Structure 1
Amino acid sequence: MVMLKQLFILSAFLLLLTSASPPVLVEKETFETFESHSYLLSFFSRNPTISDCSNDNDILQIEYIKINPDPPKKGKSLEINARGYLTERVDVGSYVDITVKLGLIKLLSQRMDLCEQVEKVDKKCPLEAGPQTLQKTVELPKEIPPGKYFVDAFVYTSDHRRIACLKAQTFFGPI
């Protein structure tokens, strides 16, 4: 479970920071409060693996996020490439609220220090305003339990202004 938790945390932060490679582009969507029926409908539909739920007022304006393969495959490498633009400097004290669910079951709900997490992708705080790129490959363990996973990540400054919002979902089969 610790390895799975670290995988989702790393993946969420890789997605938040924002460079270039194959298949899926971020789609901007308006996210509404989940009602049980719409949540269950989304469970069975094919949605983009990663959705940018940010708005024009957010500090990080995401140009694109691409992952390969899409959808991710357990036991395989996952390439994450992203590009965005920080409209202002992001300082120490910024944080991420992340939630990971397996179907309807909440596996993780945690607040983490953004600066500690960006060090894992070779960046340091403060993050200066301007273009931001990210290119990272992670190995997905083959022991990931099967099921539909949902990840919500909301990133904030130390004074609680939103930096970015990302939602991800993927299905891992039994093999």
Structure 2
Amino acid sequence: MATWSYSDHGSSGLLTIRSIEVWPEPLQTPCEMKMLIKGTANEQIENGAYLKVTVKYGLIKLRNETCDLFKKLSDGAASQGNWTLALVQGDASKPIPKGEVQLVSTMKLTERTPKGEFTVSVSGYTVDDYSLLDLQFTFDNR
């Protein structure tokens, strides 16, 4: 049976993750996996913030990319590629205000997705390179 877990290593970051909900549950391929990420912005998050994303299959690094947080949010569901990120409420072209934040991330798992354990590490930084978040998400679709 497929399982998933996450850990928030960014306790000193500007964005504190409170919970993540994943569906469909249980995970199975092919599917469009969605994650509702609920958190708190401890301060306003300004344009220029960015994410470093690493995806591993076991010990094999599949993807390592850096992307502009607000560009990724603005692209939302229209984004090309295997994953998207969107704000549940708010305007992605404006700074994210201090307070409650909800994001939806979508990842396409195709019939070609191998069975096994995947780890997605996301480190986020402000425009001034202060820690925004440090999140690790693991799922096993065996």
Q: TM-score range with shorter-chain normalisation? A: 0.7 to 0.9
One-letter amino acid of the structure 1 residue matched with residue 114 of structure 2: P
Q: Residue 28 of structure 2 corresponds to which residue in structure 1?
A: 73
Q: 2:52 aligns with which of 93, 97, 116?
A: 97
Judged with a 3 Å threshold, the aligned counterparts in structure 2 of structure 1 residues 80 and 154 are, in CA distance, closer, same or farther, namely: same
Residue correspondences, number: 127
Q: Tell me the TM-score normalized by structure 1.
A: 0.63
Contact map agreement 2:4 2:140 (CA 8 A) in 1:
no
Contact map agreement 1:144 1:172 (CA 8 A) in 2:
no
Q: Residue 82 of structure 1 corresponds to which residue in structure 2?
A: 37
Which structure is higher in helix share?
1
Percent identity reads: 26
Q: Residue 30 of structure 1 corresponds to which residue in structure 2?
A: none
Over residues 87-116 of structure 1, what are the superposed CA-to-partner deviations in whole Å (9 max), with x where a residue is unaligned?
Answer: 111111111111111111111112111111
Q: Residue 118 of structure 2 corresponds to which residue in structure 1?
A: 149
One-letter amino acid of the structure 2 residue matched with residue 140 of structure 1: L
Over residues 138-164 of structure 1, what are the superposed CA-to-partner deviations in whole Å (9 max), with x where a residue is unaligned?
Answer: 653222123321111100001111111
Q: Residue 69 of structure 2 corresponds to which residue in structure 1?
A: 114
Q: Residue 53 of structure 1 corresponds to which residue in structure 2?
A: 9
Higher relative contact order (CA 8 A, sep 6+): 2
Structure 1, unaligned runs of 5 or more: 1-45
Structure 2, unaligned runs of 5 or more: 77-85
| Structure whose CA Rg is larger | 1
Judged with a 3 Å threshold, the aligned counterparts in structure 2 of structure 1 residues 138 and 98 are, in CA distance, closer, same or farther, namely: closer
Contact map agreement 1:86 1:129 (CA 8 A) in 2:
yes
Q: Residue 137 of structure 2 corresponds to which residue in structure 1?
A: 168
One-letter amino acid of the structure 1 residue matched with residue 6 of structure 2: I
